[in-house]
Chain A
Amino acid sequence: MIIADILNYLLQLGTVFLLATEGSLVVQRAGLLNLGIEGFFAMAAFVAYLVQVMTGNFALSMLAAVCVAVAMNMIFTVLTVHLRLNHIVSGLAVAMFGVGLAYAFGRSLVQIPVYVQLPVLNIGGIYIDPIEILSFIIVGLLWFMMYKTKLGYKIRIVGEDPYVADMLGIDITKVRYIATLIEGALVGMAACYYILVSAGAWSEGVTAGKGWLAIVLAMMGLWDPLYAVAAVYTVVTIRDLIRLVPGIGENVFLLEAFSYIIAISLLAVVSHFEIKKRKRVSIPLALAKVYSREERARKYT
């Protein structure tokens, strides 16, 4: 039974990260390095919690979270795509703004727990809820979109070389907006699921670090929707299983440090065999580079 509990726990946490990671992956593939996720993850989680407390309607909370995440993500897109500003600073500013706002408002709330019980499918003690199923469906859809559809091609080319994309007649602004939209929606879902199903209540620092990790996981998954699943579940498993070891006490920190080192080593090995051979993975070479059609020589910013 303990094993089933652990699996349930991992699946729940994994779903949160999987959704957020897939979201981040899509924008990164379009060449935007959006460090703002931390900010709108917090805001979306906060809004989901607020709506849930007020209405008790999970679907409504989800919708609100998605809307807020998408809206906040647009700030980032406006700054980087239209104003051609540096991705890293814009992202960090959005992150600061979002986290600050969420916790400033969250402080004034009564922090009642609102665990949402979703209907579940019981498979031998492992409970699978609709969002968990949905997360895997989304992975499949994204994979299909990325490699089999016109939009996917466009996203990849925009992230690889915006100038080339432009010359091919691709509407870079539109593609980047679509990517941000997808990211906002997925991160919003992740945040809502996390706060209502997994954490169950708003508290100081509940969302801390979730967004950052999603960004790194997207990179670890080599920007591929399927590899990302592997990256997410490996890291989540190593990181969170350690906490469950009985009697570990404060050594948990050392082990957790090790878990990241293991993650880095795994990444090194995968990358060694995959990227070097350039088999299937292509990488967003233009990640975090600002594109401006008429300027051939823009190095920094």
Chain B
Amino acid sequence: MTRIRIRIVRRERTTRGFHLLLTVLSLIGAFLIAGVLMIFLGVNPLAFYSIFLQSSILTTWGLQITLSYLVPILLCCLSAIVSYRAALWNIGQEGQYIIGAMTALAAGAFLFPNVPPPLSYIILVLAGAAGGGVWALICGLLRIVSEINEAVTTLLMYYVALQLLNYVCRVAWRNPAFVGHPETYSLAPQYMLSFGGSLAIAIAVLVITWFLIDRTKLGLELDLLSEGFRVAQYSGVKPSRVILWSMFFSGALAGISGALYLASTSGFLQPEFSVGYGFAGIIAAWLCDLKVLYAPLASFLLAMMYSSGHALQACLHVSIDIIDAIEGLILMAVLTVHFFTRYKIVLVRQ
């Protein structure tokens, strides 16, 4: 009697080209799966995808919007990569993003409003980095001192940041000129950035991060920490020092993300400033397998999802929530087929 059993087998080391082919095939598979599911939700998948592409990359305007979303998502993605490489679970990028924007605003609107341009941009980035960095550093300290898991504290600190954002918008820094909607004072004009400018800074940050993480021993220190305290110590890495700097670095990246987004959009804060780029960044980080060089690609995919939302809503006459649901589906499908790039299914005859 022969029986057939299904076994999941890890793929052996594949060539780069084959891997790329698999990835592309899987993405196509993912969009097909999601398409079928869309039909059940009463949405025409062809219309969905054509609008999705048009509104996110095929028109200049759409592409510009996508790129503007790319900047914050990419930086939060880098932030996630830095901490996850060290097996530190910073999931509070969103909070660090808010705080980074707040410190940038404090610097650009209140502390140094009269600084001329090149310097002002440096201040902007440094202020954002300091704010986000310190916000995450607190969690790193708590980890060292009382061994609380940083996943808990970073998430709680996100709530703190969210409440503070509300507070500064409505009370502390509220601009009385806006009557209806709670908004803060604006950055001084020489702090404002064009989309291109913020993209350029983001790319610079990407390159610096890549260099530090992939080309210097800092990356190895992160990896060693993720292998456990004892090995780290044996190899001359001081665990607490690495925890502190990597949390700071991670938070700083998310902070810069907030500062840049602030300076390249309205220039003032409002309660709606937090729209989830931090969480998008986390997703992107896992989609690119924590590889800095692939971070732009993964972040771009998420940015496309963000930028096409409104167009989809308007053209398909559906609510924004259904778009969210579909994007959740696409993500699940992408994940599922991601599985096939790592494993193959074999039938075993017995």
Contacts and interface: CB of A to CB of B under 8 A. Distances in A.
Contacts of B326: 100
A109 interface: no
B331 A96 contact: yes
Interface stretch (A51-59, A82-90, A159-167): A82-90
A220 interface: yes
B167 A250 contact: yes
Contacts of A84: 339, 343
A253 B163 contact: yes
Among all A-B residue pairs, the 4 with the closest Cβ atoms:
A100-B325, A97-B328, A100-B324, A96-B328
B232 to A, nearest CB: 15
Interface in A71-119: 75, 79, 83-86, 88-90, 92-104, 107
Contacts of A75: 332
Interface string B147-164: 111011101110110011
A83 B33 CA distance: 16
A300 B170 contact: no
Interface in B105-124: none
Interface of A: 33, 39, 75, 79, 83-86, 88-90, 92-104, 107, 212, 215-216, 219-220, 250-251, 253-254, 256-257, 260-261, 263-264, 267-269, 271-272, 275-276, 288, 292, 294-295, 299-301
A90 B155 contact: no
Contact of A92 (B41, B145, B283): B283
Given A260-B163, A300-B289, A93 B156 contact: no
Given A93-B328, A93-B331, A96-B324, A257 B336 contact: no
9 contacts: A94-B332, A99-B321, A100-B327, A101-B321, A101-B325, A104-B319, A104-B324, A256-B163, A275-B148
State the majority secondary structure of interface residues on A. Answer: helix
B321 A219 contact: no
Given A220-B152, A276-B147, 9 more contacts: A89-B283, A89-B287, A90-B332, A96-B328, A100-B324, A100-B327, A267-B153, A268-B145, A292-B10
State the majority secondary structure of interface residues on B. Answer: helix
B282 interface: yes
A272 B143 CA distance: 10
Given A86-B286, A103-B319, A264-B156, A219 B335 contact: no
B336 A254 contact: no
Interface string B164-195: 10110011000000000000000000000000
A301 B335 CA distance: 11
Interface residues of B, number: 52
Contacts of A267: 148, 152-153, 156
Interface string B271-286: 0000000010011001
B318 interface: yes
Nearest to B340: A83
Interface in B77-92: 84, 89, 91
B247 to A, nearest CB: 15
Contact of A96 (B84, B157, B286, B325): B325
A291 B286 CA distance: 17
A18 to B, nearest CB: 18
Contacts of B338: 85
Nearest to B37: A97
B146 A271 contact: yes
A136 B331 CA distance: 37
A86 B335 CA distance: 9
